[in-house]
A and B are shown apart, each in its own frame.
Chain A
């Protein structure tokens, strides 16, 4: 079974902190994604990566950056966390342009 592992299920951070959300997949997938999910707004794509060191902006990249130094790991970085970044963050990966596998999610609260 494909496994997408997010490093934390719950995180509480302070405004202005630099926050790292880590995601690891174990199936040698080319593509990895970061989404955030908010009530009434659905799943929104922040960034995605189709290869090591390659990244593309999604629909809401402002305030975020990403890093993909190794194929299996895709990190989401909040340079200076703000309260409007309080959300559920979902990492996902895919290979054959068909099935996308999601991690369990990280619920981030920024106080």
Chain B
């Protein structure tokens, strides 16, 4: 099993809708979880980090973590065309490791 798995996508939503992106991970001792956004031809940029079970909100973005289910998600409310990008889930694996593993990414398109 791959360490970090995401919906293969692509995901297409209308402007103003909620986009839901999902990620599962295999390493039970992982403590740090991240969502990156990557526009076409650009480098990934961090948009959310989450460390504790539950929800973390930042503007239109909400990250959700469930360590028991080894599941992390990203919700984007009131989706805008400018949110169209590939979203990468990343997990810092292992208890004391610096190793950051990425999922393959989900491509999101928000249609005007």
Q: Within residues 41 to 55 of chain A, which ones have a CB less than 8 A from any CB in chain B?
A: 41-45, 48, 50
Assess the B43–A102 pair: CB atoms within 8 A: yes
Partner of B105, one of A42, A56, A59, A97: A42
Query: Nearest Cβ in chain B — how far from A41, in angstroms?
Result: 7
Q: With an 8 A cutoff between CB atoms, is A23 at the interface?
A: no
Pair B102/A98 contact, Cβ less than 8 Å? no
Complex: A56 Cα to B101 Cα, angstroms: 14
Total A-B Cβ pairs within 8 A? 48
Closest chain B residue to A105, Cβ basis: B43
Contacting B at CB under 8 A, from A29-83, are 31, 33, 35, 40-45, 48, 50, 56, 58-59
- Residues on A facing B (Cβ under 8 Å): 31, 33, 35, 40-45, 48, 50, 56, 58-59, 90, 94, 97-100, 102-105
- B104 near A45 with CB under 8 A, answer no
Chain B residues within CB distance 8 Å of chain A? 32, 34, 43-46, 49, 88, 90, 92, 98-105
Whether B46 contacts A99 by the Cβ 8 Å rule is yes
A41-B32 in contact (CB<8A): no
B98 near A43: Cβ-Cβ < 8 Å: no
Q: Which of A43, A48, A94, A104 has the most CB of B within 10 A?
A: A43
CB < 8 Å neighbour of A90 from B43, B46, B90, B92: B43
New contact pairs (17) apart from A42-B88, A98-B49, CB-CB < 8 Å: A40-B104, A42-B105, A43-B44, A44-B102, A45-B102, A48-B99, A56-B99, A58-B99, A90-B44, A97-B92, A99-B46, A99-B49, A100-B46, A102-B43, A102-B44, A103-B43, A104-B43
Q: List 21 A-B contacts (CB under 8 A).
A: A42-B105, A43-B44, A43-B88, A43-B105, A44-B102, A45-B99, A45-B101, A48-B98, A48-B99, A48-B100, A59-B101, A97-B32, A97-B92, A97-B98, A98-B32, A98-B49, A99-B46, A99-B49, A102-B43, A102-B44, A103-B43
With A97-B32, A97-B92 known to touch, is A43 a contact of B43 (CB < 8 Å)?
no
